[in-house]
Amino acid sequence: MAKTLQDFIQQTQQDDTKNDFFQLETERVLEVNLDGEVWSKMGAMISYTGGIRFERERVLEHGLGKMFKKAFTGEGTSLMKATGNGRLYLADQGKKITIFDLQNDKLCVNGNDLLAFESSIDWDIKLMRKMAGIMSGGLFNVALSGYGKVAITTHFEPLTLVVKPGETIYTDPHATVAWSGNLTPEFKTDVSFRTLIGRGSGESIQMAFSGEGFVIVQPFEEVYHAHTEG
């Protein structure tokens, strides 16, 4: 059924009445009510109002250790800092957005699925070296801890799997979005799966989570692109 332009504008226009620092403008657009600074994935800005300036993460901004890690992890970790006062709208290829309010919690997020986080949060890049030959763009995650808002993205609706003592949960790395920071995934190779999975790598890698915590997966297998230096 066709809509008048006025109907369409009324149904889709931004909501100026809400003022949380992070809020969902729609389930696929994050609104940041900025008064200070925020970190986001490079290229995630779709619109803004007010006096906001953007800068790419400088090489030494987070110390030598993170610079060396960035050299291994490629472009996927590039962050953008937005500073100032105004409204900032972020999105990532139409993926569904989920906001968490960390209260001295620890969360590990696949580097490709991290959309934005408050500058009050501590973060570090964790390399998953065993994955290097299998999924070149997805061998890192970002460990977040402390207090503040974090926004992650998923293809479609996320599913949270509860990890219980004595019961290991296995996931496809391409579908694994985040997990509780107290868990350390192991990697299991299953050559017998190769004809079923068809990754082209000759073997199937699975992530194995044991202990007590949770894992967030998405009903979609993310395709990572290898990063190569020129």
Task: List the domain boundaries for the chain.
Answer: 22-217
Cα angle, residue 199 at apex, residues 196 and 200 outer, rounded to 5° = 110
Both structure tokens of 54? 């953007």
Separation of alpha carbons 77 and 49, rounded Å: 26
Contact 69, 125 (CB under 8 A): yes
pLDDT of residue 195: 54
Residue 10 has pLDDT above 60, yes or no: yes
Nearest alpha-carbon partner for 155 in 77, 209, 216, 101: 216
Which spans in the chain are helix H?
5-12, 63-73, 194-197
105 pLDDT band, cuts 50/70/90, is very high
Residue 228 predicted with pLDDT over 50: no
What does the pLDDT average to over 4-17? 82
Which whole number is the average pLDDT over 127-131?
A: 64
pLDDT of residue 4: 79
pLDDT score recorded for residue 91: 98
Condensed to tens digits (0 to 9), the pLDDT of residues 43-86 reads: 999 999 999 999 987 654 566 556 555 554 454 457 889 999 99
Q: What is the pLDDT of residue 13?
A: 83
Phi, psi of 158, rounded to the nearest 5 degrees: -75, 155
For residue 127, CA distances in Å to 4, 36, 169 come to 51, 30, 21
Angstrom distance (rounded) from CA 151 to CA 7:
30
DSSP string covering 62-89: THHHHHHHHHHHGGGG-EEEEEEEEEEE
Mean pLDDT of the 9-15 span: 83
Strand 96-110 to 79-90 pairing: unpaired
CB 73 within 8 A of CB 147: no
* Predicted model pTM: 0.82
pLDDT of residue 112: 87
Mean pLDDT to the nearest integer, 179-185:
94
Sequence-distant (≥ 6) Cβ neighbours of residue 3 within 8 angstroms: 11
pLDDT of residue 166: 95
pLDDT tops 90 at residue 180? yes
Query: Cα separation of 83 and 93, whole Å?
Result: 23
Is the pLDDT score of 177 beyond 80?
yes
Structure tokens at 159: 């599913």
CATH of 22-217, one of 1.25.40.80, 3.60.160.10, 3.30.2420.10, 3.40.228.10: 3.60.160.10
